[in-house]
Structure 1
Amino acid sequence: MKRLNEETLPLAAAGVRRPGYDRARTRIGFAHVGVGAFHRCHQAEYTEDALEAGADDRAEIGVNLRPPSIEDQLAPQDGLYTRLLVDGEKAEARVIGSIRRVLDAEREPAKAVVALADTGIDVVTMTVTEKGYCHVPASGALDWERPEISEDLKRTAGRQSLPGFLADVLAKRMAANAPVTLISCDNIPGNGHILRNVVSSFAEAADKTLAAWIMDNVRFPSTMVDRIVPATRSEDLKRAEEITGLHDQGVVVGEPFRQWVIEDDFNRPRPRWDVAGAEFVGDVEPYEFIKMRVLNACQTALCYLGALSGLGTTCDDVNDPLLKSFARRMILAESAAVLPDVPSMQVGPYLDLTLSRLGNPAIRHSNHQIATDGSQKINQRILQPLRDRMARGLSSPLLEVAVGGWVAYLAKSQPAFGATWTASDQIMPFVADIAKKSSGNVGAFTRLFIENRAIFGDGLAQDAGFIARTTTAARALLEDGVARTLAGTMAEAPPV
């Protein structure tokens, strides 16, 4: 079967949507760092829609800082790839053409820096996951202890961390007097502020002149992004081939729903993503609070409790009546009290939509995939609403069970607690160390774990009551099982 590219695109099966514009007449005006499945299924499609509507003539160059190689995947395809939207048994294929060029910075760092420093590029977006920002989750400050940061500070070029790489790019743009807008599209509260913090802090340490230029010439709008995009499986590649009639190594799969809310703070011509439904607003925070504390909180709680129940995916979790009831109750009885009022995202209807989306049987989003890098996600999804409730004098037994689920999940990855699975998180050396120290004692493990101030902050790390309640939850989940623990907790929790 022939591989998808510009030459073979006309051979795609009838009915497969493809670029309805002349790609050769577009210009590279956008760049994206971290061209993974989410970007290709979300931001790149908004750009595609703007191009197709004739509202914008800017396509993009995509850069990956580390593996997997985007050049091997998309360069032979001239940047083209298939986006599948799946809902139940239905699948809709579209060939996306908004990515004109791709580069792997790990192979040719200088070439990648020069490409993003091009004065024709107005906006650089990025999706590098939460850990890619090299920040301290509890404070948002640059984590100076991260090895990649200390190594990058010794270099004058070829830096490999996101803050270091962007500092190299911005230094060249400063020399060319080329202001730019940098947009984080990762699930971090105040992601624009975090990006500004880490880039400015790194620049201040490396080159104070650059730091001053960044202050005046670089914008960092915050965003809220939403679309469920699981990892592409071999079955997905086969399905795309059956639909399109072409072999494609860049297939991405997502749900029909999508949302993008962007702070209206640009110093170059604003992208026309609004023609595709993106919203430009003065303040993104209310939107991101609701999304992170409802959708993402449900994903986080369910992935740990689901894995502990022996379930494989979020869809399986939501189809378990007890787990679904727990997630609904956690949001309505606890998180909802510390959420802002956004007319277009009322908590009740938004939660119903969330659970419906998570239950889509065509989206096989692995619990272990969602559980990855929990240390970078738990703060904004679970811990911060818990802190907000504490500040109001409110108890949070359901949110605390969710934290206990995380503790139990990490414990079960260790030999002292059975080594049931392998957990993926940058804190795993720390987890392994305290598991050995606690010798299989859940209470000791939980106490040592919560004392990690980089995750829990000073308040929770020193709160004896919180530690005791979380220990009780973790022990119950490990010893009594998920069903009995959740049933007991919900029976004692105040009604909604």
Structure 2
Amino acid sequence: MTQNSSLSLAGLPALSGRVLSAEWRAPAIGIVHLGIGNFHRAHEALYTEEAMLARGGDWGICGVTLQGDVGKRDALMAQDGLYSVVERGPAGVSVTVVRSLVEVLAMPFDRVRLFELLADARVKVVSVTVTEKGYCRDTKTGDADFDHAGVIHDLAHPDNATTVPGILSAALKARRDVGTPPFTVLSCDNLSHNGAALQRVVRSFAARLDATLGAWIAEHVAFPSTMVDRIVPATTDADRESARAALGVTDDVPVPCEPFRQWVIEDRFPQGRPAWEVAGAQLVDDVTPFEIAKLRMLNATHSTLAYLSMLAGFEAISDAVGHAPLRALIHAMMTHEIAPTLDVPASFDLLAYRDALLERYANPALKHRCAQIAMDGSQKIPPRILSSISARLDAGQSFDGLALAVAAWLRFLRGRADDGTSYPISDPMAQRLTELAANAPSPEALVTSILGVREVFPEALANAPVFVESLKVASKALDAGTLIAVDEYLRIFPQT
């Protein structure tokens, strides 16, 4: 191979040191994955290849982009589905070529092929990473959002579905109608009770189409919940260069990530599954304690760092954690406010988990952009931060650090850092939220205005005097400067 050649199946024999094993039998497709982003390729796809290497099975993956991203499809298929995972840790960089991705499709251009696969009895799992907004979910009811334009379209044109609930309902109906056993639907999104949430959306959508279909899905289709964890930033030119230097060929779509990874899965797969446990996944009866711990400890503090950093001017999470007071604040929040709200198995050491998280955040080799983590706050704030606040409030306990985190998000919605630098707001409710933030003349008014957004703040919490006052105090503190507020709030906690 020459330095100008690209990653391909034909060139794999020369890369024997960069694959998990030289032994490899090209598998048939057994998994269709909706939402073929970086996270899936650094997580489920890698676990799946390791499982096949250890125990065999036809669990090749067909990845599907749902936004018509033909560029990603074409780039991956030009490399025969191959790509490299670039692990960046304190000890250095390792590059591994992954082979479990067999095919990539782009909606709506490849609709016929997608539904051909979804009807194939050999496809036993359909997994999903589309973020919560991709579920088209009414956050008040948990059902499908029947006012969503895509849902309206799919109900009127079920044979031309474009949304996740529409696609899954159409595919499951087709299998039911011909007697093919249903595939298992596996959510891998950062969403509390993700499997149950997706099941309710799909079931409610299907029932609106056909009551018998909704009932059949409820009875026959498994939607196990999962907890996933791995820091996977957006791909940069530096990642492409690292892959090229290690492989000696060009990889246009490498995936950067940290060495750490975790996957906890409820073991409900009627048609079978890869042997993910041999790759380190935990198969459990109930994922709830694990997912709540991750949402409140990791995701909540990740979001807290992101919003404080956007205001203070830190670009990456590692930069933010390198600021000693910010690191100390996050440590104190996990120790004194978040960990006490959790009910986990005795084997789960929350303080060790806290320390591991801080070390992961500080990884200098992984520049996880705060702007990326700050996206979609209206969807993330309730399960990540408000859940802990509600638990603390119900117990009559303080939540000052958590209130500062929420206040930082409110201030973030103004689109300006402390030094006046502007940045875009990426959120499904961006227009409404940014207008409310722009029209609030004071920190207190900002709190009052956005607490009225019921999609984010439930009425009981928004009307709790202690919560409202805590937010106003935190919002006013941030008005003096983000890092000044961090120092002020750090003094509230015991010095540990």
Q: Given the two structures, how large is their TM-score scaled by the length of structure 2?
A: 0.95
Matches within 5 A, 1:138-287: 140-177=142-179, 178-287=181-290
Q: In the alignment, does 2:39 pair up with 1:38? A: yes
Partner of 2:435: 433
Cα distance in 2 for partners of 1:423, 1:344 equals: 40
Partner of 2:116: 114
Q: 1:54 to 1:271 in 2, by over 3 A?
A: closer
Q: Secondary structure at the match of 2:277?
A: helix
Cα distance in 2 for partners of 1:436, 1:293 equals: 29
Partner of 2:489: 489
Task: Decide whether the 8 Å contact of 1:316 with 1:359 is kept in 2.
Answer: yes
Deviation at 1:365, TM superposition (A): 0.5
Q: Secondary structure at the match of 2:366?
A: coil
Deviation at 1:152, TM superposition (A): 1.9
Task: Decide whether the 8 Å contact of 1:114 with 1:172 is kept in 2.
Answer: no
Cα distance in 2 for partners of 1:303, 1:41 equals: 22
1:307-335 per-position Cα deviation (integer Å, ceiling 9, x unaligned): 11110010011111011011011111111
Partner of 1:300: 303
Q: Secondary structure at the match of 1:29?
A: strand
Q: Secondary structure at the match of 1:456?
A: coil
Partner of 2:51: 50
Q: In the alignment, does 2:452 pair up with 1:451? A: yes
Paired AA for residue 483 in structure 1: L
- Displacement over 6 Å in runs of 4+: none
Q: In the alignment, does 2:470 pair up with 1:475? A: no
Partner of 1:101: 103
Q: In the alignment, does 2:397 pair up with 1:397? A: no
Partner of 2:125: 123
Task: Decide whether the 8 Å contact of 2:306 with 2:373 is kept in 1.
Answer: yes
Cα distance in 2 for partners of 1:47, 1:467 equals: 46
Q: Where in structure 1 are there 5+ consecutive unaligned residues?
A: none
Q: In the alignment, does 2:336 pair up with 1:333? A: yes
Task: Decide whether the 8 Å contact of 1:138 with 1:379 is kept in 2.
Answer: no
Deviation at 1:138, TM superposition (A): 5.8
Q: 1:188 to 1:275 in 2, by over 3 A?
A: same
Deviation at 1:469, TM superposition (A): 2.0
Partner of 2:134: 132
Q: In the alignment, does 2:42 pair up with 1:68? A: no
Cα distance in 2 for partners of 1:197, 1:123 equals: 18
Q: Secondary structure at the match of 1:197?
A: helix
Q: Secondary structure at the match of 2:159?
A: coil
Count of residues in Structure 1 that have an aligned counterpart in Structure 2: 490
- The worse-fitting range, judged by mean Cα deviation, of 174-183 and 219-228 is 174-183
Deviation at 1:182, TM superposition (A): 0.4
Partner of 2:377: 374
Cα distance in 1 for partners of 2:137, 2:228 equals: 20
Task: Decide whether the 8 Å contact of 2:335 with 2:351 is kept in 1.
Answer: yes
Task: Decide whether the 8 Å contact of 1:114 with 1:169 is kept in 2.
Answer: no
Deviation at 1:468, TM superposition (A): 2.8
Deviation at 1:139, TM superposition (A): 5.3
Partner of 2:28: 27
Cα distance in 2 for partners of 1:377, 1:204 equals: 28
Task: Decide whether the 8 Å contact of 2:437 with 2:450 is kept in 1.
Answer: no
Task: Decide whether the 8 Å contact of 1:189 with 1:380 is kept in 2.
Answer: yes
1:435-472 per-position Cα deviation (integer Å, ceiling 9, x unaligned): 3543x333222211111111111212222432232122
Q: Secondary structure at the match of 1:160?
A: coil
Q: 1:103 to 1:22 in 2, by over 3 A?
A: same
Q: In the alignment, does 2:462 pair up with 1:461? A: yes
Cα distance in 2 for partners of 1:222, 1:11 equals: 40
Q: 1:419 to 1:93 in 2, by over 3 A?
A: closer
Cα distance in 2 for partners of 1:75, 1:145 equals: 36
Cα distance in 2 for partners of 1:137, 1:20 equals: 47
Paired AA for residue 152 in structure 1: D
Cα distance in 1 for partners of 2:295, 2:35 equals: 21
Deviation at 1:483, TM superposition (A): 2.1
Q: 1:419 to 1:109 in 2, by over 3 A?
A: farther
- The worse-fitting range, judged by mean Cα deviation, of 109-118 and 242-251 is 109-118
Cα distance in 2 for partners of 1:365, 1:253 equals: 10
Task: Decide whether the 8 Å contact of 1:182 with 1:219 is kept in 2.
Answer: yes
Output the aligned Cα RMSD: 1.9
Cα distance in 2 for partners of 1:263, 1:55 equals: 21
- The worse-fitting range, judged by mean Cα deviation, of 346-355 and 89-98 is 89-98
Task: Decide whether the 8 Å contact of 1:51 with 1:58 is kept in 2.
Answer: yes
Q: Given the two structures, how large is their TM-score scaled by the length of structure 1?
A: 0.95
Q: 1:230 to 1:258 in 2, by over 3 A?
A: same
Paired AA for residue 481 in structure 1: G
Cα distance in 1 for partners of 2:208, 2:142 equals: 17
- The worse-fitting range, judged by mean Cα deviation, of 48-57 and 236-245 is 48-57
2:6 to 3, 7, 10: 3
1:460-488 per-position Cα deviation (integer Å, ceiling 9, x unaligned): 222243223212212321x2112221222
Paired AA for residue 111 in structure 2: P
- The worse-fitting range, judged by mean Cα deviation, of 248-257 and 218-227 is 248-257
Cα distance in 2 for partners of 1:186, 1:344 equals: 25
Task: Decide whether the 8 Å contact of 1:31 with 1:63 is kept in 2.
Answer: yes
Cα distance in 2 for partners of 1:15, 1:167 equals: 43
Q: Secondary structure at the match of 2:191?
A: coil
Q: Secondary structure at the match of 1:454?
A: coil
Q: Where in structure 2 are there 5+ consecutive unaligned residues?
A: none
Cα distance in 2 for partners of 1:260, 1:402 equals: 27
Task: Decide whether the 8 Å contact of 2:325 with 2:490 is kept in 1.
Answer: no
Task: Decide whether the 8 Å contact of 2:143 with 2:205 is kept in 1.
Answer: no
Partner of 2:422: 420
Q: 1:357 to 1:492 in 2, by over 3 A?
A: closer
Paired AA for residue 323 in structure 1: L
1:8-65 per-position Cα deviation (integer Å, ceiling 9, x unaligned): 22233x63225533333x2211111111100000000011101111343321211111
Deviation at 1:229, TM superposition (A): 0.6
Cα distance in 1 for partners of 2:139, 2:390 equals: 14
